[in-house]
Structure 1
Amino acid sequence: MRNFYTYQQGVSLLSKIYIVLILSAGTLFFYLYDSHTFGVEYTTPGAFAYPESYEATCADKNSAVADHIQHKDDRNMHFNVTTPTNYRSDYAHPLLVVWAPSGMSEGLSESFTGLTRQATEAGYVVVHARSIPLGFKSLTSLSFIPAEVIESWCIDPALVFYTGHSDGGTVSNALSVMPESAFRPRALAPSAMGMQGKDMQAYECPSPTSVMLMHNKGDGHFPNYGSEVVAWWAGCNQCSQKTVASDFTGCVEYTSCAKGITTLFCEAEGNHAHWPGPEHDPVRFFSNIVKVERNSVSVE
């Protein structure tokens, strides 16, 4: 009996299916990345229009321009530092710390939020911290990053601000209230955070702290968490329970808060994955605080 063998030429059907699946997944990843991230025009630092006159400081530091300079500290926390392109080492800059969503590197977090150009042109030194699995120990380790940056660059320690999305929002909020936190911000703008009102009841109120709490209307991952937590902040900030429309898009403002304190609750259209920074503008929120601080110092 003659044996017949059939040899299949080219690529097998199964291999073709795998290739199609890989290409489809790659196309989907590219689409999601492209539609949820900002381009280089947002992640490239810009120049700051320094005031004509200011009180020089930081004589004990030898800092210089930083363009996404990478750091890893003794606690194995990774972050990068970016200054205005015309950074002056004798000017006390505000500091913006952007905490990353879960699993994101410094660079991906920066592309996701797109704050670098706007913030550096407004005079901020900007830090993007790498995501790590969250717990009390890791949160405490993250809390040392601002002080480490202040040691090396000319920063006004009274003008440190936190923002971030999802896990980054959780970090922003947690480090503002945890007694273990090594540094607390002047103001915070957390987005899509995973802390609830009942979580906040475990903490004592910090000193009144301005907050722009951003939580999307369609966030099915953490539904209604934002409204509960902002109510806690409003109580700590000595506000009334009355809210009025704010000049920040999509936001309401609690009235009669402690002197100099602003408490905002902001809701944009979108699900948990949507970063609402472009709608609500946290950098402008922080810059209003910086402006008031600078003006009060000049009056004195």
Structure 2
Amino acid sequence: MRNIILVGIVVFLGALLAFTFFIGPPVDPNLLKPAAYDYPSPTINSCSANTKTGLAGISDNIKTAEGATYNLRTPSNYNNTLTHPLIVVYAPAGTSASKSERHTHLTKKATEAGFIIAYAKNLRMSVKAIEKLASIPTDIQKKWCIDSNRIYYTGHSDGGSIANALTFLPSIINKPTAIAPSAAGMDTESLKQYACPTPLPVMVFHNSDDSHFEGFGKQAADWWANCNHCSTELTTPDEYGCSTYKNCPASSKTVYCEGLGGHSTWPNKNAMLIDFFKRSK
């Protein structure tokens, strides 16, 4: 973990400035509104309404006992007796939960697909910070009706590194079902310090013009492919710039997506990301 933290410190000010001044293209406000989910019928109640008291729609500035802060969105017609898959989005350096939501604009697509989605406020990279951020999914499960077997992590820059670290750090007990890190600051040298976690589906996003972490995405994807018992051979990139590692077990599909743009640019493949999580159970 020491090398990961050192990398984080070296690039922290640059990444902080990048995300402080990055505005990006305007975001359609409708993409930030929770959508209704078409619940399947018949349904089987899985939670007691008396025990899951989290509100439907928008909940902001929720703080865990460990000190992590997050915003949460449910489907607008949230049913607190039915289990939902959960996505946790970890933020770039110096980025608030609300700014991370605007940056990724995942809310509408996630909620209309039946997910509950949470946006974590960034904490400066350290082991202690990562342990605090690990408390978010646990806190959510106490308040909202969540399927504990369908918890997914994504995030950009520092957030992508955190999504990775929460998966392979041995001190983190509760592991995600699948991850989709973007622009993460982890290369072969930092990752090879750690033992492979239990294989899981992984989709790595990285931009070709990322000057903060040039080439890190492919290196990380290769590490995950090895951990997931895949071949080193990739399929030809599809129209979205995504290649799948060949011969992966069905339970640990590994995908590398490379797009245009610099470090600050979110890959904007939200439909693909949501579909990847939907298929990872």
- Does residue 210 of structure 1 match 2:201? yes
Q: Which AA in structure 1 matches 2:46?
A: T
Q: Which runs of 5+ in 2 are unaligned?
A: 1-18
Cα distance in structure 2, aligned partners of 1:203 and 1:126: 29
Cα distance in structure 2, aligned partners of 1:57 and 1:227: 40
Partner of residue 168, structure 1? 159
Partner of residue 120, structure 2? 129
- Does residue 74 of structure 1 match 2:65? yes
Q: Which runs of 5+ in 1 are unaligned?
A: 1-28, 294-300
Q: Which of the numbers 28, 32, 57 marks the counterpart of 1:39?
A: 28
The verdict on how the C-alpha distance between 1:182 and 1:142 changes in structure 2, with shifts beyond 3 A counting, is farther
The verdict on how the C-alpha distance between 1:150 and 1:37 changes in structure 2, with shifts beyond 3 A counting, is farther
The verdict on how the C-alpha distance between 1:112 and 1:226 changes in structure 2, with shifts beyond 3 A counting, is same
Residue 71 (structure 1) shift? 0.6
Residue 182 (structure 1) shift? 3.8
- Does residue 96 of structure 1 match 2:87? yes
Cα distance in structure 2, aligned partners of 1:248 and 1:105: 32
What are the residue-to-residue correspondences of 1:229-240 with 2, within 5 Å? 229-240=220-231
1:59-105 superposed Cα distances (whole Å, 9 cap, x missing partner):
26233414133311222211011100000111110000000011111
Q: Secondary structure at the match of 2:186?
A: coil
Identical columns (%): 36
Partner of residue 263, structure 1? 254
What are the residue-to-residue correspondences of 1:1-300 with 2, within 5 Å? 32-33=22-23, 35-36=24-25, 38-59=27-48, 61-63=51-53, 64-245=55-236, 249-278=240-269, 281-289=272-280, 293=281
What TM-score results when the alignment is normalised by the length of structure 1? 0.82
Q: Which AA in structure 2 matches 1:210?
A: P
Does the 8 Å CA contact 1:82/1:125 hold for their aligned counterparts? yes
The verdict on how the C-alpha distance between 1:31 and 1:190 changes in structure 2, with shifts beyond 3 A counting, is closer
Moved over 6 A (4+): none
Larger Rg over CA atoms: 1
Does the 8 Å CA contact 1:249/1:279 hold for their aligned counterparts? no
Cα distance in structure 1, aligned partners of 2:65 and 2:27: 31
Does the 8 Å CA contact 1:250/1:280 hold for their aligned counterparts? no
RMSD: 2.0
Q: With a CA cutoff of 8 Å and minimum separation of 6, indicate the structure with the bigger relative contact order.
A: 2
Residue 201 (structure 1) shift? 1.1
Aligned length: 261
